[in-house]
Each structure stands twice: as structure tokens, then as C-alpha cells.
């Protein structure tokens, strides 16, 4: 039979029926199908309502990072991640930071930006003035869309307008500033942006196309700082190494990308565990890192007068305690309960602290012992498992590879043969 991915009405089928078609297409075994449909804590009926064309679920481990002291309060931090060493590294860094009094954090109000794009405007500058003069009318109309948000103390609070030059000619961009309180706010802001489009068209005589939230949330920032005693971080030489690493990342985008990836390892793991939108957070973080024209590091590390290590991080943090999957995914609800944050602002600040901790752990490993050593044992276990090591000898194979400093698939296969022969 000819294989085709053109399947009409696929979305109308239930997950089992969809999987039957996928099974045929990809020649899956019944065992492979069962793996996909073994839904555990996320019932198929719920998964099927969350996204489209569902055929199964994808479990990933949830770990808890310990030792976090933030503004004098203790937090256990749930992380959903497939990468070894992240949870251990965050816990280790949080312990070092604890020695210096923990993290201190702050944040701006939870204001998101909605953009309304108007093209074919005859006199863009005059149109811009008319939009600004109609501010109260536009804000009122926006707020009529979300009385719940307004009653929670949020809503559209302000607006601005700018004329930009583009390859397709000048455009008038109206920006709506919406306080999203405890929601991430994309749906709320998009609804408002759509509702005011006709008013903007009438005011400008132009044509509105896009009406959408910006993920570059420069008005919704979270900051975290910490001071780590030099003894806790491993001595003065390690402090110097971290300061040099920080300067390297600040100056060089190639290094900055990896430096920031390290911080995002922790942040995204928490975002995922709590059912928040990790694409929004990644997009915002990297756009913010490039805001001044050259991509740079989101965190900075310097030496204090006493020779200790001071670190700080600032990035956009559009997260919610409600909305999206946060209150529908059963594991996200449990993760939120473990974390115990009461507002989206507190949540954003915890995330900034986690990012700073993760960044510290990576830099310390790089400046001190090299990143591979810290990663080695879990990495070796993964290689051993991938090479097919049975459960009872996975650790043995991993240990041997670490000892030999040869963590490779070919060596794992040899060791499996050797150790299995020993056992039989
Ligand atoms: P939502 O619309 O599900 O929930 C937000 C709503 O909850 C508010 O509008 C308000 O009416 C209500 N609410 C009740 N109590 C509140 C309180 N204390 N604080 C704030 N609001 C309260 O979700 P959302 O946060 O508007 O949107 C998030 C979803 O949008 C995510 O799933 C995200 O993936 C998705 N999304 C993202 C983008 C993007 O980032 N570019 C675009 C489209 C959609």
C-alpha cells in the first residue's frame, strides 16, 4: 500500500483511531503503541483536549532542586528535564549561595506588551498623534474585554505608538501595556489587541494586520542577585575563573549563547514542570540578551572587595499561576504546590534565582574541573542504557567507563558483553 501523510479528518478521530493509522504508516509494534498510550498521570481524555491530533503522552523525569533560600524563605524547586546533572547542579549552586545568605530578588509589575500593526497610513506621524490622544478611549475598550483581569487589579494601563521603517514601507505600531497580574497573559492581551483594532483603523485611516502579544517582555522583568563566599565556591582562583568566564560571555555572542543556555537549563525545567510556556520564556530571554544590538550574557559575575563572588541576572519572565496548562495539567498543579509561590511575581523571581544558580554551577564546573567531570557519571549511565545494558549491570558498565575515562557507545557494548559473560 502507498504511504501518504495526507489524511483527511485525522483530527476528528479519537487517539486510539489516530494511533492505528500511525501504526500502519510507521510500522509500529503493539508494544510501541502501548508505550505512547500509557498515559500515567495525564489521562488521555485530558491530553486530547490540550492539543490537537493527540496519539499519546511523553513522560519526562521530574526532580526536585533543594537548598534554595530566596529573600529569606526556603523553596523546593520542581524541575522537569531530560538532561542529566541539571537538578544536581542547581541544588549544589543553591547550597553555595546559601552560605552567602541566599538569593535576593526583585521584579517589575507583570506588564505585557500587545502590538497592533497598521499599514498604508497616509501620514504616519499625524496618525500616531491621533492614537495617543485617544488613549483613554482605547484603554477603556481594551479593558471591557476582560472584567475578571480588571477586577484582579490588572488590565490595560497605558499605550504608546511608534512609526517604524520596514522593507514593506512605514508602519504605525500601537503598543498596549497590559498588567496581567497572575496570568502569563497571551490570550488576555491578544483578545484586547484584536478588540481595539477597529478603533485604531478609524483613527489612522490605515489597515490593521497583526494584533498580538510581544514575547520581548521588557516591562515584565525579574532580577536575582547573590554573593557567594570565596571559600564556598572553591577559593580565589575559582572566583577569578568565573569572573573571566563572565567577561568572555559578555563580550562574545558565541560564548554568550552557551552561557545563557546554562541559565535556561534550570529556568525551562521549572517552566515545564509548572505547565508554563517555555517557548515564550526562551524567545523573551534571547531577544532581551540581544536588545542592545549585540547578543550578550543575561548574567554578570564580579569579585567583591573581600574577594567573594557577586552574581546578578535580569531577564523577562512572562509566567502565570493560572491560564494555559497551569491549572489543567495534574502534574503542573502538584509542582506549583511544591514550589508554593503565591503570585506570578514571586514565581518570576524564583525563576530568576534558579537561572542564576544554574549559571553559577556551570561556570564553576568550567572554571574549576571542566564540565565533563560533573556530567560524567549520569552521562555514562545514559550511554550504558542506550547501548542496551540490562538494569542489573547499568551502574557497573557506567562506573567502568568513568574509571577508564572512555564514555563511549563502543566501549559500553564491549563492557556489556564482558560483564554479561562474567555473570553467566
Ligand atoms: P488564560 O486566558 O487561560 O487565562 C488568563 C485569564 O484568567 C485572564 O484573562 C483573566 O480573565 C483570568 N484571571 C482570573 N484570575 C486572574 C488573576 N488573578 N490574574 C490574572 N488573570 C486572572 O491564559 P493567558 O495567561 O492569557 O494565556 C496564556 C496561554 O497563551 C499560554 O498557554 C500560552 O502558551 C498561550 N499563547 C502564547 C502566545 C505567545 O506567547 N506568543 C500566543 C498565543 C497563546
Q: pLDDT tens-digit profile of 326-354? A: 999 999 999 999 999 999 999 999 999 99
135 has a pLDDT exceeding 70: yes
DSSP code for 179: E
Q: Is 133 a catalytic residue?
A: no
As a whole number of angstroms, the distance between CA 179 and CA 147 comes to 13
Q: How far apart are CA 159 and CA 114, in angstroms?
A: 9
Q: What is the pLDDT of residue 376?
A: 79
Active site residue 375: yes
- Distance from residue 315's CA to the centre of ligand 1 (Å): 20
Confidence check: pLDDT of 378 > 90: no
What average pLDDT does range 187-193 have in this prediction? 98
Alpha-carbon distance of 112 to 180, in angstroms, equals 7
Residue closest to 401 by CA, chosen among 153, 410, 392: 410
Q: Is 236 a catalytic residue?
A: no
The CB of 271 under 6 Å from ligand 1? The reply is no
The whole model's pTM is what?
0.90
User: What does the mean pLDDT of the chain come to?
Assistant: 96
Of 218, 119, 216, 108, the residue nearest 174 (C-alpha): 119
pLDDT at residue 210, as a whole number:
98
Q: How much distance in Å is there from the Cα of 322 to the middle of ligand 1?
A: 7
Please list, residue by residue across 97-115, b when 16 or more beta carbons sit within 10 angstroms of its beta carbon and e when fewer do: bbbbebbbbebbebbbbbb
What does the pLDDT read at residue 382? 87
Mutate which of 146, 188, 316, 341 to test ligand 1's pocket (most atoms within 8 Å of Cβ)?
188
Q: Is 284 in the pocket of ligand 1 (CB under 6 A)?
A: no
Q: Which helix (H) or strand (E) holds 209?
A: strand 207-214
Return the best residue to mutate from 217, 319, 323 for the ligand 1 pocket (most ligand atoms within 8 A of CB): 323
Confidence class for position 107, pLDDT limits 50, 70, 90: very high
Q: Which of 195-199, 282-286, 398-402 is predicted with the least confidence, judged by mean pLDDT?
A: 398-402
Amino acid at each position: 500500500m502507498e504511504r501518504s501523510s495526507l489524511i483527511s479528518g485525522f483530527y476528528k478521530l479519537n487517539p486510539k483511531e489516530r494511533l492505528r493509522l500511525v501504526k500502519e504508516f510507521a510500522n509500529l509494534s503493539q508494544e510501541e503503541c502501548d508505550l505512547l498510550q500509557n498515559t500515567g498521570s495525564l489521562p488521555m481524555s485530558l491530553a486530547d483536549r490540550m492539543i490537537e491530533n493527540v496519539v499519546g503522552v511523553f513522560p519526562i523525569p521530574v526532580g526536585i532542586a533543594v537548598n534554595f533560600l530566596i529573600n529569606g524563605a526556603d523553596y523546593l524547586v520542581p524541575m522537569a528535564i531530560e538532561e542529566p546533572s541539571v537538578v544536581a547542579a542547581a541544588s549544589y549552586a543553591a547550597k553555595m549561595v546559601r552560605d552567602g545568605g541566599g538569593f535576593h530578588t526583585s521584579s517589575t509589575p507583570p506588564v505585557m506588551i500587545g502590538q497592533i500593526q497598521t499599514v498604508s497610513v497616509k501620514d504616519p506621524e499625524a496618525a500616531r498623534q491621533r492614537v495617543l490622544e485617544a488613549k483613554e478611549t482605547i484603554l477603556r475598550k481594551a479593558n471591557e474585554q476582560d472584567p475578571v483581569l480588571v477586577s484582579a487589579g490588572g488590565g490595560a494601563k497605558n499605550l504608546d505608538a511608534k512609526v517604524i521603517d520596514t522593507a514593506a514601507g512605514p508602519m504605525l505600531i500601537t503598543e498596549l501595556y497590559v498588567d496581567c497580574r497572575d496570568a502569563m497573559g497571551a490570550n488576555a492581551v491578544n483578545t484586547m489587541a484584536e478588540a481595539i483594532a477597529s478603533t485604531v483603523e478609524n483613527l489612522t485611516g490605515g489597515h490593521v494586520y497583526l494584533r498580538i502579544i510581544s514575547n520581548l517582555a521588557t516591562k515584565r522583568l525579574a532580577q536575582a542577585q547573590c554573593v557567594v563566599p570565596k571559600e564556598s565556591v572553591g577559593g580565589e582562583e575559582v572566583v577569578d575563573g568565573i569572573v573571566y568566564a563572565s567577561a568572555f560571555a559578555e563580550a562574545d555572542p558565541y560564548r554568550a549563547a552557551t552561557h545563557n543556555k546554562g541559565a535556561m537549563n534550570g529556568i525551562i525545567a521549572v517552566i515545564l514542570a509548572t505547565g508554563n510556556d517555555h517557548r515564550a520564556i526562551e524567545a523573551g530571554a534571547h531577544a532581551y540578551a540581544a536588545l542592545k544590538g549585540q547578543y550578550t550574557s543575561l548574567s554578570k559575575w564580579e569579585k567583591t572587595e573581600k574577594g567573594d563572588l557577586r552574581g546578578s541576572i535580569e531577564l523577562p519572565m512572562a509566567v502565570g499561576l493560572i491560564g494555559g496548562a497551569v491549572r489543567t495539567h495534574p502534574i503542573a498543579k502538584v509542582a506549583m504546590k511544591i514550589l508554593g509561590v503565591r503570585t506570578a511575581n514571586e514565581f518570576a523571581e524564583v525563576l530568576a534565582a534558579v537561572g542564576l544558580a544554574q549559571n553559577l554551577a556551570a561556570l564553576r564546573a568550567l572554571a574549576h574541573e571542566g564540565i565533563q567531570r560533573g556530567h560524567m557519571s549520569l552521562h555514562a549511565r545514559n550511554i550504558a542504557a542506550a547501548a542496551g545494558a540490562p538494569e542489573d549491570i547499568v551502574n557497573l558498565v557506567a562506573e567502568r567507563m568513568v574509571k577508564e575515562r572512555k564514555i563511549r557507545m563502543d566501549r559500553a557494548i564491549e563492557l556489556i558483553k564482558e560483564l554479561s559473560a562474567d555473570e553467566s
